Chains A and B, each alone.
Chain A
Amino acid sequence: MKNTGLPLRLEGVSKRYGKYTALTPTDLTVAAGEFLTLLGPSGSGKTTLLNLIAGYLEPMSGTIEIGSRDVTRLPARQRNIGMVFQSYALFPHMTVGQNIGYGLAVRGVSKAESTRRVSEVLSLMRLEGYADRPIQKMSGGQQQRVALARALVIEPDVLLMDEPLSALDKQLRRTVQLELRRLHQEHGRTTIYVTHDQEEALVLSDRIAVMDQGRIQQLGTVDDIYDRPANAFVAGFIGESNLLPVKVNAVAEGKATTEVEAFRRTIVAPAAPGVEAGQTARLLLRPEHLLLNETDDGVPAEIIEAVYLGELSQYGLALESGQVLTARRITDRSLRTGMKVSLSWDPGHARVVPEN
């Protein structure tokens, strides 16, 4: 059942509820076989976008194409999508096998063929021998796999998953993440995955669409999003970050000259598109990029907190301006609370980003 699914294309798709805009007009292209994650806080529009693709919601505007088929006005049942729900939505009055075979049964697939495909997907999910179990007798992790099996067995053109791991405990979540990655690598199928958990997104995705306030704030690979965030929201949402308010004096050749109030000095750093001279912006310094020295050519700071995390330690640093930054370094026992240090960083690691 190797099948990469079909590409997906959205153009100007939007959704409003009365005066509330759930999704501003959005373009999105997903390649066949790609694993794309919609990542954002609740209310960011990610679930709305997923439901629009699934056909559970009708867009106010725009078009949705799966492969070369315009499905904008088609109901969910005619889109050939596989959906995994946050609550799994397994049918309680059916066995595991009946749940998984449901999509085949309503498609009129013969009994023999259905049994064969159900047992095939059961073994793919490592659930052999569970076909006749009632759903209620399955554990949370098993139910999650049944839900995925039910979505996969119909060989969907696009697989949609709405926070499928949020009901599992942390330990199990880690295992299932790796399981999902294995499945996608073996049977790579176009997948749209919704989550608010950045770690999940980083582990699973080919590309991530970071969403906030009903729009995609940035769409890119894990590296793009982490190293080159498009704005302060993305920088703050993915990973840990120090974001300092700055005033932009000039922008040239991708670099911005900025006045950093907190440092009381002017800094030149790579700038994201959208940073303009004369405006305020943010300077992004990741905690792992801050260097703590005992020389005095950097920004003077005092260690006000040292948290030992094992191999790494996290330091709270107070600047003379009163601003507090976070740094994360390989644990160094000589760095202690109350010490004066001087902060520096590789100029390539700082980044000026628009406020939003």
Chain B
Amino acid sequence: MSKLPLWLRIGGNSAASLVLGFLVLPILAVVPASFNKASFIYLPPRAYSGVWYERFLEDAEWRTSLLNSLQVAVLATAIAVVLGTLAAIGLRRLEGRWRAGITALFLAPMIVPVVVTAVALYRSALDVGLSGSILGMSLGHMILALPFVVINVGIALRGVDENWLKAASGLGGGPWTVFRTITLPNITPGIVGGAVFSFITSFDEVVVAVFLAGYSNKTLPVKIWESIRLEFTPVIAVAATMMIVLAIVLFAVAQLVSSGRETPTK
């Protein structure tokens, strides 16, 4: 369909491919690296094996850190989705200038340097005894994830016609019924998108986790960071590969949900 001249199309596509390769290939390099047979990371590996995957699963510390990460991410996502959805609905009801101001407040965790948030959380967590706990890290990550839910659900809400809600309540639906039967089905893609971003934000977050993790409650990124300072084993590549695969799976799920939900507009 493009009306650009051929040379420009080829040139443009090549440039785009180069940029994409530059961004993606270093990340993908960890995948072959994780299949090294040797106890040092050679790239490309001299011999392949799954031995480091076994090592990862046998090691209690690695296993625990993976489970911790999953727990923290699930909890952070659940809280962020509920609060973020409520916030997005509330924001829509506000008058113009209030809406702009309070939206900025909700998006602040995206803009404030993470280390600042981390220090603040560290101090507060000590005060309330949440330091070093799964719940503490979850709440910290929830704050970082909240903007993604507020944005995604906010965009989805723009597709919800105010008159649908008026019609539903006129037909006898109470506020909760109207939310459940009209609003929720129409913003599900936004909620799923927000949830995926939340999960990934939490799952690969390292700064807040370093500040809040105790000795026994390390998350996977914290464990990677600690390990890499001691030894450079392919187990780290295994952990990194797992994170990449999980991220890809989650984004695929989000894509499926949002495209499956897409209905032809009038």
Residues on A lying within 8 angstroms of B by beta carbon are 54-56, 75-83, 85, 87, 89-93, 102-103, 106-107, 134, 136, 150, 154
At the interface, yes or no: B174 with Cβ under 8 Å from chain A?
Answer: yes
The smallest C-beta distance from B64 to any residue of chain A, in angstroms, reads 43
The 4 closest A-B pairs by CB, nearest first: A103-B171, A89-B163, A89-B167, A106-B173
Nearest B residue (CB) for A162? B163
At the interface, yes or no: B186 with Cβ under 8 Å from chain A?
Answer: yes
Flag if B172 contacts A93 (CB, 8 Å): no
**Complex Cα gap A269–B163 (Å):** 49
Flag if B161 contacts A89 (CB, 8 Å): yes
Q: Which of A54, A87, A92 contacts B170 (CB 8 A)?
A: A54
At the interface, yes or no: B107 with Cβ under 8 Å from chain A?
Answer: no
Decide yes or no: A107 and B172 within 8 Å by CB, A85-B163, A91-B182, A136-B266 being known contacts. yes
Decide yes or no: A83 and B186 within 8 Å by CB, A89-B163, A92-B263 being known contacts. no
Flag if A87 contacts B163 (CB, 8 Å): yes
Residue among A79, A85, A87, A89 facing the most chain B CB atoms (10 A cut-off)? A89
- CB contacts (< 8 Å) of A81 on chain B: these are 170
22 A-B pairs, CB-CB below 8 angstroms?
A55-B170, A56-B170, A75-B169, A76-B166, A77-B171, A77-B172, A81-B170, A83-B167, A89-B167, A91-B164, A91-B167, A91-B168, A93-B186, A93-B263, A102-B171, A103-B171, A106-B168, A106-B174, A106-B177, A106-B181, A134-B263, A136-B266
Flag if A77 contacts B182 (CB, 8 Å): no
**Complex Cα gap A75–B177 (Å):** 15
At the interface, yes or no: B90 with Cβ under 8 Å from chain A?
Answer: no
Besides the contacts A83-B166, A136-B263, what 20 more A-B pairs have beta carbons closer than 8 Å?
A75-B169, A76-B166, A76-B169, A77-B169, A77-B172, A83-B167, A85-B163, A87-B163, A89-B161, A89-B163, A89-B164, A92-B263, A103-B172, A106-B168, A106-B171, A106-B172, A106-B177, A134-B263, A150-B167, A150-B171
Nearest A residue (CB) for B264? A136
The smallest C-beta distance from A121 to any residue of chain B, in angstroms, reads 13
Flag if A154 contacts B172 (CB, 8 Å): yes
- CB contacts (< 8 Å) of B186 on chain A: these are 92-93
**Complex Cα gap A56–B168 (Å):** 12
The smallest C-beta distance from B116 to any residue of chain A, in angstroms, reads 42
- CB contacts (< 8 Å) of B181 on chain A: these are 102, 106
How many residue pairs at the A-B interface have CB separations less than 8 Å? 66
**Complex Cα gap A55–B172 (Å):** 12
The smallest C-beta distance from A18 to any residue of chain B, in angstroms, reads 12
Nearest B residue (CB) for A102? B171
The smallest C-beta distance from B131 to any residue of chain A, in angstroms, reads 45
**Complex Cα gap A141–B164 (Å):** 19
Flag if A83 contacts B172 (CB, 8 Å): no
**Complex Cα gap A133–B156 (Å):** 24
- CB contacts (< 8 Å) of A55 on chain B: these are 170
Flag if A83 contacts B170 (CB, 8 Å): yes
Flag if A85 contacts B166 (CB, 8 Å): yes
- CB contacts (< 8 Å) of A154 on chain B: these are 171-172
- CB contacts (< 8 Å) of B166 on chain A: these are 56, 76, 83, 85, 89
Nearest A residue (CB) for B167? A89
**Complex Cα gap A89–B266 (Å):** 12
- CB contacts (< 8 Å) of A150 on chain B: these are 167, 171
- CB contacts (< 8 Å) of A83 on chain B: these are 166-167, 170
- CB contacts (< 8 Å) of A54 on chain B: these are 170
Contacting A at CB under 8 A, from B161-220, are 161, 163-164, 166-174, 177, 181-182, 185-186
The smallest C-beta distance from A256 to any residue of chain B, in angstroms, reads 47
The smallest C-beta distance from B261 to any residue of chain A, in angstroms, reads 9
The smallest C-beta distance from A69 to any residue of chain B, in angstroms, reads 15
**Complex Cα gap A150–B166 (Å):** 13
**Complex Cα gap A78–B263 (Å):** 32
- CB contacts (< 8 Å) of A102 on chain B: these are 168, 171, 173, 181
The smallest C-beta distance from A89 to any residue of chain B, in angstroms, reads 4
Nearest B residue (CB) for A81? B170
**Complex Cα gap A134–B154 (Å):** 26
Nearest A residue (CB) for B164? A89
